Amino acid sequence: MAFDTFMFILMSGILLGGLYALMATGLAVVWTTLGVFNFAHGAFVTLGAYVAWQVTQPVAGGFGFMIAVLMSVTVMFCLGFVLHFALIKPFERNQNVVLLAVISTLAAASIIENGVLLTWGPRDKQITPPIGSRINFFGASINAFDFVILAVALLALFALALFLRRTTMGRTLRAAAQNREAAELMGLDVPRLFAITLGISAATAALAGIFVGSLRFINPSFGADPLMKSLIVVILGGVARFTSPIYAAFVVGIAESFSAYFLGLYWSPALLFAMMIAVLLIKPEGLFGHRSKTL
C-alpha cells in the first residue's frame, strides 16, 4: 500500500474518531450523571444538523455557517434541558428508572425522527461547508475543513472538561453525579443540574451532527449510525475517566476506516461489534479504566 493511501485512510479515521469522541462524550456524560442511557442521542444529532441547515437557507435569512452552528447548539441545549423534565425526571423515583428511560428516550427518538421527516421531507440535504479547499498532507490530499472539524471537536471537549473541573457550576454538576443525596443536602437543585447535563449533551450532539452534515448528506434517520457508534465507543472505552471514551473513539474511528478499505464497508460494523464483544468478555469495565463510572 502506498504511503499516501495509508495517510489518507489514517487521517479519515482520525477525523471519524474526533466526531465519535464528540458524540460518545455527550452520551457518557449523561450516563455518568443521570445514570441512564439516552437513546435519543442520535435523534439529537439529526435534529441539530437540520436546525443548522434550516438557518443557512434563504427562507430563514441565509445565515452563515458560524451563525448556524451557534443557533443549532443553543436550540439543542434548550431542548435537552426541557426534555429532562419530560423523559427522565418523571421516572427518577421508580426503581426501574434505567429501563423506563430506555423506553422514554427511544420514544423521543422516534418522535423527533418523524417530526424531522414531516418538517423537512425524506430527501438528502447537505450543509455547505465554509471551507472547500484541499491541502496536501504527507502526499494525501485532504479537505482543509477536516482539520477544522477535528480541531473544533477536540477544543469543545477540552472546554467541557475545563468547565466540569474548574468552574463552580461544573463542580456542582459532578457533585450531583457522584452522590445525589449529599448534593441535595448541600442545597443543590439536582433536577436542574441534571437538565443542564442533558442540555450540554444535546449541544455536543448538535455540533457533531452539523459536522457530519457538512461532510456527507443528512436525512431524517442518519442519526441512527452515530448513536450505534457512540454506544460501541462508550462500551469499548468505559467511562472511568472523562477521556476514556475519547481514546476509544479514535480506536473505533481508525479501525473503521482501515476495515472499510481492506474488508469493505459492509464488514466494518461487524468488526466493531466483534471488538466490542471481545472487550466485554475480557474487560467489561472498558479498555481505559478500572472503575465502572465516574465523572
Partner 1 sequence: MTAALLELRGLTGGYPPVSVFRDVNLTIKPGEHVGFFGPNGHGKTTLLKTIAGVLDPWDGGIYFEGNRLNAEGAMQARVSHNLNYDLFRKRRIKARDVVDAGLIYVMQGNLLFPEMTVEEVLDIAPRAARGRPGVGQMRRQIHDLFPRLRERWQSKVRYLSGGERQMVSIAVGLLAMPRLLMLDEPTLGLSPKLRIELSQAVQNIRETGVPLIIVDQNVEFLTSLVDRLILFDHGTVTREIPAENMPDHAQLMEMMFGGAH
Positions touching partner 1 (CB under 8 A) are 90-94, 165, 168, 171-172, 174-175, 178-179, 181-189, 294-295
Residue closer to partner 1 by CB (options 84, 174) is 174
Residue closer to partner 1 by CB (options 97, 254) is 97
Q: Which of 33, 29, 228, 52 is nearest to 125 (CA)?
A: 52
Cell 449510525 sits at which residue? 225
Residue closer to partner 1 by CB (options 109, 183) is 183
User: For 35-96, where are the alpha helices, taking DSSP H only?
Assistant: 41-56, 65-83
Which residues are within 8 A (CB) of 32 and not within 5 positions of it... i.e. 6 or more apart?
177, 239, 293, 294, 295
CB of 287 to partner 1, least distance (A): 19
| Coil vs helix vs strand at 137 | strand
CB of 181 to partner 1, least distance (A): 6
CB of 247 to partner 1, least distance (A): 18
CB of 228 to partner 1, least distance (A): 29
Residue closer to partner 1 by CB (options 72, 172) is 172
Q: Which of 150, 215, 201 is nearest to 42 (CA)?
A: 201
CB of 139 to partner 1, least distance (A): 45
Q: Which of 293, 231, 179, 181 is nearest to 39 (CA)?
A: 231
Distance CA 248, CA 287 (A): 8
Residue closer to partner 1 by CB (options 41, 174) is 174
